[in-house]
Amino acid sequence: MTMPAEFGTFFLPGPTEVRAEVLEAMIHPMIPHRGKAYEALHARIVAGLQGVFRTQRPVYLMSCSASGAMEMAIRGAPEGPILSLVNGAFSERFALIAQSCDRSTRVLSVPPGDTPHLEQVEEALVNGGAEGAAFAAVTVVHSETSTGALSDIRAITELAHRHGAMCLVDSVTGVGGAPVETDAWGLDFVLTGSQKALALPPGLAFAVASEAFVLQASVSIGRGRYLDVVEYEEFARRSQTPTTPALSLLFAADVQLSAIRHEGIGARWARHAEMLECTERWVEGLRAGGLGVGLVPRPGERSPTVSTIALPAGLDAKRIVARVAELGYVIGGGYGALKESTIRIGHMGDHSIDTLEPCLEAVGRALHGR
Ligand SMILES: *Cc1c(COP(=O)(O)O)cnc(C)c1O
């Protein structure tokens, strides 16, 4: 895929660089959202997303940011206590959403940069929640964008199922960049946002719920209305959404998903894996040169879409980000607990090693105070 000349400057871990062709798709005139033309658009986007999520289930097109889909997952989750696996700021947000929806929630934390420890998860599942009640659901973040750690959502889903719980997966910086096999891994609920690895403008969330998830939700109370998974499922059957969709963003999604289908999801995953390897080699090179930097997560637990780099003592994240911006690249500062001590590079969406390498070179210059 050829990129416009100005492409390659935006390496924020969301929103990510959006190609001109995708932005231009948004000037499409409005269409009625109850009608054949909309239904065809909706069906095409869903088919594209089914290839991305690797599912036969309908993909819900939600006109809200990804947090809306997180709340949908919680609102529709089976009755009973929720176990929230927390290893950074976004997994903490999932726990807070559960708590603020009045769900009995137990938080199982590991330090930022780690991934949930499977033995601890199993132990928690065995012990249960308040008064020993079995957990009904587990929340987990696939790619923790605040630290760059990639959790084994397949293993965690298996564990949850073995103990009678459903697994709700935030894969906002996973889907479209890291392998996700919704059906083969039996994910009960998995969600993403438009502005991360799918390289779309912000404003859409995409979610898939298993048949079992929807079935149990249909007889539960307290699902609310606006984010009701059962409503979305019913409207999905007619290729519609319950309320007026953000049409302009859907025109953009249509164009981008056709490009993603053309690239192939396997090739897209491989391209992201290469960008992580490229970043790892670059960090090794800096270390070999005597600079005390390091990637926050352990090898083998690193997200292919976002790298969080711990800075040497004395270097301030804000200054580095500002210097890199002067050199022409937008990267992220630290997030949450790692705000001042780390920088984050979002190597996702339509980026490749070719666009990433000059960015890393600029970050290298900034780190060396040049
Ligand atoms: C960006 C992000 C979110 C939140 O997305 P919004 O679109 O701002 O609601 C949630 N989880 C993860 C892992 C993210 O990276």
Q: What is the CATH number of the domain that holds 312?
A: 3.90.1150.10
> Which atom, in ligand 1's list, is nearest to the CA of 202?
7
Q: Is there a single domain that holds both residue 168 and residue 274?
A: no
Q: Is there a single domain that holds both residue 257 and residue 305?
A: no
Residue 239 in contact with ligand 1 by CB distance below 6 A: no
Last residue of a domain, one of 201, 227, 262: 262
Q: Is there a single domain that holds both residue 253 and residue 320?
A: no
Cα(146) to centroid(ligand 1), Å: 10
Last residue of a domain, one of 262, 291, 315: 262
Q: What is the CATH number of the domain that holds 233?
A: 3.40.640.10
Which of the listed residues 145, 194, 306 should we mutate to test ligand 1's pocket, taking the one with most ligand atoms within 8 A of CB?
145
Q: Is there a single domain that holds both residue 13 and residue 90?
A: no
Q: Is there a single domain that holds both residue 144 and residue 170?
A: yes
Q: Is there a single domain that holds both residue 203 and residue 299?
A: no
Q: Is there a single domain that holds both residue 150 and residue 65?
A: yes
How many residues does the structure list for the chain?
370
Which of the listed residues 70, 87, 90, 305 should we mutate to test ligand 1's pocket, taking the one with most ligand atoms within 8 A of CB?
90
Q: Give the CA-trace dihedral at 221, 224, 227, 233, to 10 degrees.
A: 40
Q: Is there a single domain that holds both residue 310 and residue 238?
A: no
Q: Is there a single domain that holds both residue 229 and residue 294?
A: no
> Which atom, in ligand 1's list, is nearest to the CA of 306?
15
Cα(193) to centroid(ligand 1), Å: 7
Does the residue 3 lie in any domain?
A: no
Residue 65 in contact with ligand 1 by CB distance below 6 A: yes
pLDDT in tens, the chain (370 residues): 444 444 448 999 999 999 999 999 999 999 999 999 999 999 999 999 999 999 999 999 999 999 999 999 999 999 999 999 999 999 999 999 999 999 999 999 999 999 999 999 999 999 998 888 999 999 999 999 999 999 999 999 999 999 999 999 999 999 999 999 999 999 999 999 999 999 999 999 999 999 999 999 999 888 999 999 999 999 999 999 999 999 999 999 999 999 999 999 999 999 999 999 999 999 999 999 999 999 999 999 999 999 999 999 999 999 999 999 999 999 999 998 899 999 999 999 999 999 999 999 999 999 999 8
Residue 66 in contact with ligand 1 by CB distance below 6 A: yes
Q: Is there a single domain that holds both residue 77 and residue 65?
A: yes
Cα(73) to centroid(ligand 1), Å: 14
Residue 67 in contact with ligand 1 by CB distance below 6 A: yes
- Total domains, the chain: 2
Q: Is there a single domain that holds both residue 295 and residue 150?
A: no
Cα(186) to centroid(ligand 1), Å: 22
pTM over 0.95: yes
Cα(187) to centroid(ligand 1), Å: 19
Domain around 92: 20-262
Last residue of a domain, one of 215, 244, 262: 262
Cα(41) to centroid(ligand 1), Å: 25
Q: How far apart are alpha carbons 29 and 51 in whole angstroms?
A: 27
Q: Is there a single domain that holds both residue 29 and residue 175?
A: yes
Q: How far apart are alpha carbons 191 and 227 in whole angstroms?
A: 13
Cα(131) to centroid(ligand 1), Å: 32
